[in-house]
Amino acid sequence: MGAGGLRTTTRDYAKFLLAVMDNEHVSEDLRRAQFQISRNQYEKCVEDESKEGIRPQKLGFGLGWYICDFEDERILGHTVANNGGRTLALFSPHKKSGLVIMTNGRNGNYVIFTIASYLNP
């Protein structure tokens, strides 16, 4: 059971992400709402412009996803946290790639960040 009460496996969640990337079973209006930033969160989340690191040009929420727009890349994702675990799902519609990580303990963020540190940006 993933964080937030979703009952699925990482494999089935990954299949869901693939379906979203392939635009399966979704109207064009819903697709636009999913992938359009309707609530800008850039200023709230990127506080100090002087800090080094990769920064998105836009950051916010679409319908069901958070969206990070970089110069040549768009990353969509969803996270959930509760007392029993942490879940992270990210994907790039352009590259047709992504990841799903589900944990079931209070150290879930450590596990997620450790796994993510091995991925190429």
Which of 62, 69, 71, 3 has the alpha carbon at shortest distance from 38?
62
Collapsed DSSP state (helix, strand, coil) of residue 74:
strand
Residue 21 lies in a domain: yes
Euclidean distance between CA atoms 74 and 57, whole angstroms: 10
Confidence of residue 21 (pLDDT cuts 50, 70, 90): confident
Residue 46 lies in a domain: no
pLDDT at 3 over 80: no
Residue 47 lies in a domain: no
Give the chain's mean pLDDT: 79
Residue 20 lies in a domain: yes
Residue 45 lies in a domain: no
Residue 49 lies in a domain: no
Collapsed DSSP state (helix, strand, coil) of residue 100:
strand
Domain count, the chain: 1
Euclidean distance between CA atoms 102 and 121, whole angstroms: 20
Dihedral angle of Cα 19, 29, 80, 68, to the nearest 10 degrees: 90
User: Which domain, by its residues, includes 34?
Assistant: 3-40+55-117
pTM: 0.75
pLDDT at 1 over 50: no
